[in-house]
Structure formats: structure tokens, C-alpha cells
Structure 1
Amino acid sequence: MSDQTCDTPIAGRAVPNFRVIALIVASAMLMENIDATVLATALPTMARDFSVDAPAMSIALTSYLLSLAIFIPASGKMADRYGSRTVFRAAILVFVIGSILCAIAPTLLLLVLARLLQGIGGAMMMPVGRLVLMRSVARKDMVSAMSWLLVPALIGPIVGPPLGGFIVTYLDWRWIFYINVPIGIIGMIFVSIYIEEVKGKASGPFDLVGFILSGISLGSLLFGFELSSHQGQGAFAIFLIALGLLFGIAYLKHARRHPSPIMDFSLMKIPSFGTSVIAGSLTRITQGAQPFLLPLLFQVGFGLSAAAAGQIVISTALGALAMKPLARAVFRRTGFRTSLVINGILGTIGYGLCAAFRPDWPMPLIFIVLVLSAFFMSFQFTAYNTIAYDEIDQERMSAATSFYTTFQQLMLSLGICIGALALHASMAVNGNGEPALEDFSSAFVVVALISITATIWNLRFAPNAGEEISGYRGKVKRVSAGR
């Protein structure tokens, strides 16, 4: 396969079926998403093996987040310089090597170092995987391809905890990392066969100062958001968030002067991209909070076992899967703007209904509500992740994917933070030492109210936004009918 530059028209290339490419990228991301969530279940067992207290094991999670925060912004530049196929394949390899080192780590220190390495691979896999899809799939197939790509992000946090419980109960926790090896090897083989090599044009010197400033800012923010969900860490979390904001301001001042900043905020001036980032960020508050709040509600509020709670929460994965075959037809009929407005309201109301869940509700009814809520939210993120790139030219595609993925990761972590803060604030107001049902209700209402404000931004999309991608021609039909 010959190298190609990003100005080569996508439609002029012979590419394999878009489903093949989407599944290759989705499989790598599913491996990463499951790995990131399955580990939380195994931390107590790992703590015993390493002879440390269970809270000390949280560094195994935060070290991974640190790598993500530092290296996601640099992923676009790497893909432009070395080629999206090369970087994506190398990211999978680094992730697999990091997984092996995690599995054989004899001490907590070595596990943390291995997680840092694994995080570098994960940081490159997310945005470069999306970039591979954007550069390999024709625009008419983008909605269908993106709906496949979204599944790992929705299924991973749901499948991870019960899978982790199964591995810890019946196998050894080290298998959490070993299972990544065959998946990664198969992924690299398929990337080599089916993915074309596409490089971007050089856009100036590497922004080392911006890389450092953004790394400190994003790392501090992600750490702060993560720690805010843990009791007794409030003061340190506030310090980290404040530090992240200060370095973020410093980065913005630096980016205005640099000819090729590591994170290009001028992308926000592009209507479809900027609107999608803002509206998607508000909606992701809910997506980030749900995997944190729902298991707690069912275990603490309902008194269910972890296994029983996991079975209920799997309903969200079923809803996400059910959405895939319908997205393209809906967009073709109603367009992106109308779909985002109506579906966003329905999805937010669905998750807002979680505030009314009580132990005397029939479990099938709760299951149905969660399936429908996940269906609407999965549809919503398919729309955001697709329409964001409608007006992005190929030369800026790598910068756009790394920028978008950075905010996506940040907002998911912020969702956990807001969910936890709302829960603890309600507990303080009600004088509860442990979360009660009314506290969970308050938390669900808070995140739902934040997400519903995305409607304001959804209305700012042009009526014909993304018509080339969706095939929607509603405006043209109305004009023709009036003549």
C-alpha cells in the first residue's frame, strides 16, 4: 500500500467495506474501554497481592489517566508526521506491551509504570482510531461507520465491572491484562491489511511548550475530577482543578502566539465543529455520571448484589446496540439538527427518570427505561461524533480529532465529578451519612438539567447541516414545492 497525503480525495480511493474498517477501530477501542473499567473491580484483590491498602491502588487508575491527558493532544501531530495507519498500529502495540508488563508486574511501582506506558498507547488509539475512520470511509457511509465506533465507549464502562468480577472470582486478576494480547495482535494484523497509510502536511514545528502546558493542565483536571468522587480527597481535588485551570489559561495565551499549537482552539470557530464540541460536552456530563451513579443506586440504594446490579446496567449496552441500524435512516429523513434537538430531549428525560427509580418498581420496567435511555443517548453521540467533522477539511482533520477526543475524555471525567458532588451535597443537606434514595434522585436531576441545556446549542446547527453525510434534502424539497 502506498502512502497518501491528506489532500487525496476519499471518494477516489478503493477502500474495503466501511464496516470492516469501523469494526477494526471499534475493536481496539473496546479493548481499551473495557480495560479501563474492568480494573476497578479487581483493585481490592490486587491490593492484597501487593501488600498495600486498597485506597493506595487508586494510583493504578490515575496513572493511566495521566498518560491520556498528556498524550492525546499530541496524537494528531504524530499521525500527520508518521501516518495514521503506522501510529494506530504502533498505539495498539504499545498498549499490548503495557498490558503484558501490567500482568507480570511484581510490585505496585512497576504496575504504575506499566500503566503509564499502557496509557500512552490508549491516548493514541482513541483519536487516531477516529482519524483512521474519517480518512478511510466515504462521507455517505460516515453515519453508519460512526455508529459502530460509538459502541465501545458505551459498552466498555458497562461490561467492564461484571467482567472484572468474573475474572477476579474464577481466574487471576492478571488475566485482565492478558486478554488484551490476542485482541491486540489480531487488531494489528487487520490494520496492516485493511487500513491505508495517510499522512498529513507539515504544519510547523512541534509545540513543546504547549505540550507541557496542556499536559499539566489536562492531567491536573482529570486527576481532580477523578479524586472528587472519593471521600476525603475534596481539598486535594480542588487544588488540582485550580492548578489545571491556571495552566489551561497559560496554554491559551501561549496558543495565540504559536503558529501550530498542540491544541488548535481556532477549530471552535468552525460552526458545526464548535457547536458539536459544546453541545456534546454538556451531554457527556450525563454519559460520564451514569456509570458512576447507577451501580451505586442499585447496590447502596436498592441493596442489590454487585452481580445483580451489573445485570441491570447491561441494559444500557443493549440500548446502544439497538440504535446502530436505525441512525442512518433517521438522519436521512429528518436531518442532523432536528434529530439532535428531539432525540437530545428524549434521551435526557429518559436518564432523568432514573431519579424516580425505587425498589418497589418492577425490574422489567427499570430495564426498559434504561434500554430506551441508552438508545437515545447512543443515537445522540453518533450524531455529534459525525456532524463535528462535516466542515473540517482533510488538512485539519488530525488536529480536529485530537482536540475533540481531548474534550470528550475531559467531559466524561467531569460527569463523574458532578455526579459525585451532587450526591455528596444532597447527603450534606439531608444529613445522611450514607447515600439515600433521595440523594441519588438529586444527583440524577442535576446531571439531567445540565445535559438538557445542550438543546440551546443543538438549535444553532444549520437546518441543512451535514446533508452530504446524511443524505437529507428536506430544505431542497420545500423550496422546489413552493415553485
Structure 2
Amino acid sequence: MRIASASREPGTLSRPTALLVAGAMFMELLDGTALTTASPRVAAALGVSSAAMAVPISAYLITVAAFIPLGGWVVDRFGGRRTFALAVVVFTLSSALCAAAPSLAILVAARVAQGIGGALMVPVGRLVVLRDIRREEVIRAVALFTWPALAAPLLGPVIGGILATYASWRWIFLLNLPLGVLALCCVGTIPADTGQIRRLDVRGWWSSAVCLGSLTAAAAIVAIPGAGLAPAFGCAVVGVVTGALAVHRLRTAPEPLISLGSLRVRTFRVSHAGGSVFRVVCNAVAFLVPLLFVDDFGWTPAHAGAALVALFAGNLGIKPATTPLLRRFGFRAVIVVSVCGLALTVALMATLSPSTPLVLILLLLAASGVFRSTGFSAYNTVAFADIDPAHLTDANTLSSTIQQLAVGLGAASGALALRFALLLDPHESYREAFVFIALTLIVPIVEGALLPAGAGGNLTRAASPKPAPSRS
């Protein structure tokens, strides 16, 4: 039986707790992307080739994907506060080791440890916030959790490039130290709740871990310039085979590590089917746009990174209006308009050229950021609209796992689209890659349009302001 938290009134959203978890999510996601632009400097410092830097980058992503399924079981077994605190400690100490790494091998080992901390920190933090709050609080909570997912993938490469250029690449990891200490000072806001203790489904975990790790590895290999496709194909085959074993195990085990029952709930399924395509496209665009600016337009990396701030501005600019839009128009309308808007802006990116006025480029990026933000908020919120509170732990773990895989596949999808476009027309490769990616959004558009008009209405009705009592 779950132990009631003494840190807040049951059913209410603890804003300090939600902000702490959002900050931890930002730290984890930022660290996953900041090393990319700093790779040449890191490689030179460690005496290895730039291509070798794909190993610590991929090691982090693979470890996060492999260990996320354990999150729900660990928080039920040891409690939210202890698990979150341990995850922050592991992440912070491994960040210090990354900063001090004298060789590539030590850096890879430290990144694996970082991945374990990050894999537990983010889903566990989100779970302890969501599992006991009332329906009317869900939209507010998810709104706080959405901004790290929007901001970190855009700011990470910019911050990494600036630090590597004007300071040292080691500061990418040193920044985590004061943030980790601050998180530990505030960990008392995390409820100490435990859940119903289950046996650890070891077979379910290893098959899920190998599947997720293999698919993420395949995605990472595809995203490496010049890498052969044979290793990626081999990893993908391993991922598919172990994925089939994992699904069979999770469906037949008496106490599975992750219950797949949430996928029978339509709103949850839409959020993680079409929603995953939406997330992949968003990450693919974040991968392709800087390459377009540097390789095709001839901009400097700093110039390209600065332009991405427009995308970030669009993300944040619309954020205060997201909840009112969901209340006024409902989830179906917001999802369809967001996906259509993203598809249009991605297709328009195919028309950009070095002669396009900078102001038009920035406006297009800002508009794309607006649709990213509203789409992320709608998908992330509606996922839990019809989930029974008793099944929230499994739903949250499954959601975190699928979303992490979408992040890993994002850059790979952009790289694969670019490779395919190069085969068709080397002179128009970026334009065609953007068109290919935009076309994949047909799937979530159709799926969103088929949602019932009142989907998620229990959240928007609960979150709507109560009418003033009439006076007679």
C-alpha cells in the first residue's frame, strides 16, 4: 500500500517539487546535446579523432534508453525521494568525472554512469509529481515539464559550442556540479512515497534494455557522418528481435517490469504513436537546420547557433497561451493545428537559400517553435488524461521509455533523410530532406483528426476556472 506523503496536502501540485524536477530534466537533456558541437575540441584535447567522439555521445543515449524501464520499479521499491536523491548524486559525481577525464575510455565510462543517473532522475521525478495530483492539476504540471524538452535540445549545442570556443569543453560538465548540489538541497520537497513492491522482472528488463539500447545505437550510427549503414542495420535487427522478445515477456509475465496495458487507452496510444512521429520530426529539424546554415549557407557555427534562438523564442513565447488554447479548443484541435503548422514550416524550410532575408528565416524558425511548443504540450498532457491513478507508474515508465527512443531516433531520421536526398540530387539534398520529413507528419495529422472531439475533456473541464456562484 502506498505511503502518504507528509510534505504536502494529498492531491495538490507542489510547485517547488515540479520546478525541481523540471530543472533536473533540463540538466539531463542539456547534457545529452551540449557535447555534440564541442566534439572537435574534446577530440583534440584527448588525442583522438573527431569521429571517435560518437562513442561517448552514443554511450550516454544508449544507457539512458536501457535503464529508463527500471524507473517505475525502483521508485516503488525505494521511494521517490531516495531514488531521486541517489540519481542526482550519481549524475553529479559522474559529471565531475567527465570534466576531469584524461582519456576517451574514462570519458565513456563516466558518460555511462551519467546515463544511469539521468535514466532514473527524469522519469522518477515526473512520476512523484504526477501520481497523486488531481486531474485539474495535470495540465499545469505537464506545462512545467514541457519546457525542458523544448529548450534543452536547442540550447545544448549553442552552449556547448560557446563553452568549447571561449572557455573549455570541461565546463559543459562542471556546470552540473552547482546544479546538482542545489537539487540535493531541495530534495526534501520530493515526496518519500513508496508503492506496491513487486519482484524485479529481470528477463523483461534485459530484453527491453537490449532492444532500446540497440535501436538507439543504430540511430546514433546513422547520425554519424560517413558511418556505414551495415553496423546500424545489424543493431536494428538485434533491436527488433529483442523487442519482440520483450513484448512477449511483458504481455505474459505475472508481474511485468512495464505494463503495456496503457496502450489500450486511446489518448495514451495517440500521444505515443503519432506523438512519437511528431517528436522525431522536431528533433530531426533541430539536427538539420544548423547543418543547412553551416554547410549550405556558409555560416559560422556561432552564427547558426544564434539563429536557433528564434526557434527557442517561439517555444517560450507561446507557452503562456498553451493551457488557455487547450481549454478553449480542446486537444484534438490543438494537436491537428500544431502538427499541420509544423509540417508547413518544415516544408517552407526547403525553400530557404543563402539569399533569403535573415528576418524571414528567423520568423520561420519562430513559427516552427510555436507549433513545436503547442504540440508537445498537447501530446504530453493528453497522454495521462484517461490513465487510472493505480496504473500511473507503469504508464509513466512506458511514456518515458518511448519518448527517450524518439529523441534518439530524431537526429538519425534527419541524417537518413539527408543521405537519401543526396542519392537523388546532391545539389538539393537539404531541400529534399526537409520535404521527406514534412511528409511523415501526415501520420499524426490523420491520427489526430480521428480523435473524438471531447478527448481529454476531463482535464480541460477540471482545469477551467469555476464560474462565480449566482446571487439571487
**TM-score bracket for the superposition, by shorter chain length:** over 0.9
- Matched residue, 1:480: none
> Where does 1:278-289 land on structure 2 (aligned, <5 Å)?
278-289=273-284
- Matched residue, 1:240: 235
> Where does 1:199-278 land on structure 2 (aligned, <5 Å)?
199-202=194-197, 204-230=198-224, 231-278=226-273
Structure 2 residue corresponding to 1:385, chosen from 359, 377, 380 = 380
Q: Distance in 2 between matches of 1:133 and 1:349?
A: 35
Once the two structures are superposed, residues 401-448 of structure 1 have per-residue CA deviations (whole angstroms, 9 ceiling, x without a partner) of 111111111122222222211111111122x3xxx4x21111111111
Report the AA paired with residue 418 of structure 1.
S
The runs of 4+ residues in structure 1 deviating greater than 6 Å are none
> Where does 1:64-463 land on structure 2 (aligned, <5 Å)?
64-135=60-131, 137-192=133-188, 194-202=189-197, 204-230=198-224, 231-430=226-425, 432=426, 436=427, 438-463=428-453
> Where does 1:42-61 land on structure 2 (aligned, <5 Å)?
42-61=38-57
Change over 3 Å in CA distance of 1:448–1:149 after alignment to 2: same
Report the AA paired with residue 158 of structure 1.
L
Report the AA paired with residue 208 of structure 1.
V
Change over 3 Å in CA distance of 1:258–1:372 after alignment to 2: same
Q: Distance in 1 between matches of 2:152 and 2:213?
A: 22
Once the two structures are superposed, residues 109-149 of structure 1 have per-residue CA deviations (whole angstroms, 9 ceiling, x without a partner) of 11111111110011112211221331364432322332221
Tell me how large the CA RMSD over aligned residues is: 2.0
Report the AA paired with residue 32 of structure 2.
A
Following superposition, the deviation at residue 232 of structure 1 comes to 2.7
1:144–1:327 contact (8 Å) kept in structure 2: no
Change over 3 Å in CA distance of 1:335–1:366 after alignment to 2: same
Q: Distance in 2 between matches of 1:473 and 1:87?
A: 30
The alignment status of 1:464 with 2:460, answered yes or no, reads: no
Q: Distance in 1 between matches of 2:337 and 2:161?
A: 38
Change over 3 Å in CA distance of 1:13–1:57 after alignment to 2: same
Change over 3 Å in CA distance of 1:188–1:352 after alignment to 2: farther
Following superposition, the deviation at residue 172 of structure 1 comes to 2.0
**Deviating more after overlay: 346-355 vs 440-449:** 346-355
Change over 3 Å in CA distance of 1:448–1:5 after alignment to 2: farther
Change over 3 Å in CA distance of 1:326–1:473 after alignment to 2: closer
Report the AA paired with residue 122 of structure 2.
M
Change over 3 Å in CA distance of 1:309–1:87 after alignment to 2: same
Q: Distance in 1 between matches of 2:190 and 2:122?
A: 16
Q: Distance in 2 between matches of 1:270 and 1:162?
A: 39
2:61–2:408 contact (8 Å) kept in structure 1: no
Q: Distance in 2 between matches of 1:325 and 1:21?
A: 20
Following superposition, the deviation at residue 13 of structure 1 comes to 4.4
TM-score normalised to the size of structure 2? Answer: 0.93
1:334–1:472 contact (8 Å) kept in structure 2: no
Q: Distance in 2 between matches of 1:317 and 1:22?
A: 21
Following superposition, the deviation at residue 473 of structure 1 comes to 10
Once the two structures are superposed, residues 14-45 of structure 1 have per-residue CA deviations (whole angstroms, 9 ceiling, x without a partner) of 554x3x33321111111112111111122222
Q: Distance in 1 between matches of 2:269 and 2:255?
A: 19
Q: Distance in 2 between matches of 1:14 and 1:147?
A: 16
Following superposition, the deviation at residue 12 of structure 1 comes to 3.9
Structure 1: give runs of 5+ residues left out of the alignment. Answer: 475-483
Once the two structures are superposed, residues 87-120 of structure 1 have per-residue CA deviations (whole angstroms, 9 ceiling, x without a partner) of 2222111110110111112221111111111100
